[in-house]
Structure 1
Amino acid sequence: MGISLEKAELLSLGLTTFLYGLFFTLFLISTAVMSYRVTEDVRSQRNKILPVSFSMLVVATIHIVLLWVRGKIGFVDQRGGSSTAFYENIADMTNVLKVGCLLLQSLLGDGVIIWRLYVVYGKRAWVTAPSIILVIAYTVVGCVALQFIAHARPGTDVFHVATSWITAYFSLTMVTNVLCSGAIAWRIFRAGKPLRGAGTKMLWPVIFIVIESSALYAFGVIAVLASFLSGSNGQYPAVDAIVPLVGIVFSLIVLQIRFHVSSSVSPRSDGQTSTNGGGWPRPPGRPMGVDDPEFPMRSIRMAVHVTKQTHTHTSTHDVSGDSLSDEGMEKPTAL
């Protein structure tokens, strides 16, 4: 086993509490950032982000409360005669609810990334079909695994209950995350190929943020699978860490892109604003405000979907006649 069950649960309690505190702090910061200098577009996007972020926080809060309740029951009350006896009873309702929080948090995280994929590809539903199928599959698998856990006999550890179902669940959720993140990064890269200079410099940080966020979650799931398949009790802290980790990844995407674009916008001598590698320049030879179907920059701006507008007095029109600001166009700043 490598590490005793009691030590694993204590490590889980400490590590998850730390990660929850980090998530809570990032939630407050990202909420404050989205509330600073709010424009109409920012307000609209904020109304989409905050409910998701708050839902993740609620799930993570319920999860950490359950962890502390289990800690009291196991180490203080010693229900069942000892802490080991309590934690070995995986069918206990507090453990079942804790696993349920993991399933729900994974759905929220993957739901966000599938939405980003949908928007980046110009709201083509067929693009998201494989990811949606994977989500449905691992949701069913997760529910089946949860049923096995809830009806496990006393004294049966998690390594001998629904092993294949649990392995399939974590494998499918990791594949879903990596698949969607890779597709988003590829679309942004392809859309940026006509750009030169400043535009290219802006696209790479966005791509890196997408890849880094996926890698952070993927490494967490790999740690769970490695410890679970090796029969190590280290899988307990690894599993519990996933719940706040999903919220941390979400908050970091919001903050990283928002601060990157904000720092790339600088005032010009004529009182307007210019971008230092941070704007979304139009393809060469294409009038401002006209979107090329093969160059869906507007969709990509929506995919990262917290917008930041800069003030200008210059305006133009897109193909549908809508008034657009030359330098007041949407800038990708979050998600």
Structure 2
Amino acid sequence: MGIPLDKASFLAVFLETLFYGVFLTLYWLTLFVLFKKTDIQRQLLIPVATLLLCVATAHLIIDFVRALEAFVFKVDTIGADTYYSNLASPLDLASKALYITQTTLADGVVVWRCHVLNNRSLLVAIPGCIVLLVNAAIGYYVVWSLSRTPGLTSVSTAASGCITTFYTLTMLVSLTCTISIAWRIYHTRRLMPGGLATLLPVFIVVIESGALYATSVLALLISFLVSSNGEYIMLNIIPPIVGVTFCLIILQVHFRVGGNSATEQSSDPSGIMTSIFRGRSTRDRNFSMQPMAVHITEETEIIQSDMISGKNSQPVSGGIYQL
């Protein structure tokens, strides 16, 4: 027996509030970490995290207003179940539009990370941008289609197909980019001394961050395909989960992998780079292994790493590493 629509909607608001509280806490911790970093990192990561928080906040406020109308103000007139069945409600459409905005922004960040990690290859950027634009267009078309739907009617077949496509593309973008990033880390590190032994912490950061988001979207897709009201629960909790995932990437790198002090890092030659950073690689005839502190630009952590250098080295600009 499936969960009734009114109970699913009430549970959705409760769980969204819970995950929003987690996101808000992680957001302030992330700000504390980022404010100790350079201006370049602040200009990139703080605006993205703040935008994710703003969208999640607006989504939560709209869902609270809808819950008040359904369970308090209009409970004696139309009832909560009938209220939530109105797919053309302006507040419901606004909530769905914010969900699409949040997921598109999250997918954009993932594609950007994958693009930078692959030496800013256009073979990654162009297909990724095309998929993002197509997916966003499909999502906003669904919102427009629902706005033209008479009240208390089911989703049309065309809109249902678009919704399935939107969820599927969202999940595929997350999985594809996560696998690509993990493979790039392995391919870059496997030939270096002690590389495989230091891969585990990095893989945990990458896989966990991608799996949390992809699993949530998968649950949303499955619940929609089986016509379960659990879809409404997932629609509400994914916006804060997107922010939680973004903040966890930064905080995991800082506390789990890169939380050592500068003194400890300088004395530990087996430290690893755990994020995308811009630097200069070196070539030379006489190679030697020297520990060097590197500056990370995306995940905002300074971590010890083994880099190849020599006496007569020549810098090669544009080197990008993820270890």
Higher strand share: 2
Which residue number corresponds to residue 307 of structure 1? 301
Give the TM-score, by structure 2 length.
0.84
In structure 1, distance between residues paired with 2:125 and 2:316? 30
Which residue number corresponds to residue 325 of structure 1? none
In structure 2, distance between residues paired with 1:29 and 1:226? 33
- Cα distance change of structure 1 residues 262 and 30 upon mapping to structure 2, 3 Å threshold: same
- Cα distance change of structure 1 residues 331 and 160 upon mapping to structure 2, 3 Å threshold: closer
Which residue number corresponds to residue 241 of structure 2? 245
Q: 1:187 aligns with which of 173, 184, 189?
A: 184
In structure 1, distance between residues paired with 2:101 and 2:68? 24
Which residue number corresponds to residue 268 of structure 2? 275
Which residue number corresponds to residue 156 of structure 1? 153
Aligned positions of 1:157-306 closer than 5 A:
157-158=154-155, 162-197=159-194, 199-264=195-260, 267=263, 273-275=266-268, 277-280=270-273, 290-291=281-282, 304-306=298-300
Which amino acid letter does the alignment assign opposite residue 308 of structure 1? I
What is the CA distance between 1:266 and its match in structure 2? 6.3
Q: Which deviates further from its counterpart, 157-166 or 219-228?
A: 157-166
- Superposed CA RMSD in Å reads 3.0
- Cα distance change of structure 1 residues 126 and 289 upon mapping to structure 2, 3 Å threshold: closer
In structure 2, distance between residues paired with 1:203 and 1:137? 35
On the 8 A contact 2:182/2:203 being kept in 1, the answer is yes
On the 8 A contact 1:92/1:150 being kept in 2, the answer is yes
* Percent of aligned pairs with the same amino acid: 31
Unaligned runs of 5+ in 1: 282-287, 293-297, 323-329
In structure 2, distance between residues paired with 1:267 and 1:302? 18
Q: 1:129 aligns with which of 126, 151, 168?
A: 126
Matched, 1:62 2:58: yes
Matched, 1:18 2:18: yes
Q: How many residues align?
A: 302
Unaligned runs of 5+ in 2: 284-291, 305-309
Q: Deviations over 1:141-197 (max 9, x none)?
A: 111111111111111134867111111100001101111111111111100012122
Which residue number corresponds to residue 286 of structure 2? none
In structure 2, distance between residues paired with 1:122 and 1:277? 24
Which residue number corresponds to residue 8 of structure 2? 8
Give the TM-score, by structure 1 length.
0.81
- Cα distance change of structure 1 residues 124 and 289 upon mapping to structure 2, 3 Å threshold: closer
- Cα distance change of structure 1 residues 258 and 317 upon mapping to structure 2, 3 Å threshold: farther
In structure 2, distance between residues paired with 1:317 and 1:70? 68
In structure 1, distance between residues paired with 2:27 and 2:14? 20
In structure 1, distance between residues paired with 2:295 and 2:225? 41
In structure 1, distance between residues paired with 2:191 and 2:162? 45
What is the CA distance between 1:131 and its match in structure 2? 2.0
- Cα distance change of structure 1 residues 317 and 304 upon mapping to structure 2, 3 Å threshold: farther
In structure 2, distance between residues paired with 1:215 and 1:159? 31
In structure 2, distance between residues paired with 1:57 and 1:318? 45
Which amino acid letter does the alignment assign opposite residue 32 of structure 1? F
On the 8 A contact 1:224/1:239 being kept in 2, the answer is yes
- Cα distance change of structure 1 residues 218 and 321 upon mapping to structure 2, 3 Å threshold: closer
Q: Which deviates further from its counterpart, 133-142 or 25-34?
A: 133-142
Which residue number corresponds to residue 114 of structure 1? 111
- Cα distance change of structure 1 residues 82 and 61 upon mapping to structure 2, 3 Å threshold: same
Which residue number corresponds to residue 295 of structure 1? none
- Cα distance change of structure 1 residues 14 and 236 upon mapping to structure 2, 3 Å threshold: same
On the 8 A contact 1:308/1:332 being kept in 2, the answer is no
- Cα distance change of structure 1 residues 256 and 129 upon mapping to structure 2, 3 Å threshold: same
What is the CA distance between 1:139 and its match in structure 2? 1.1
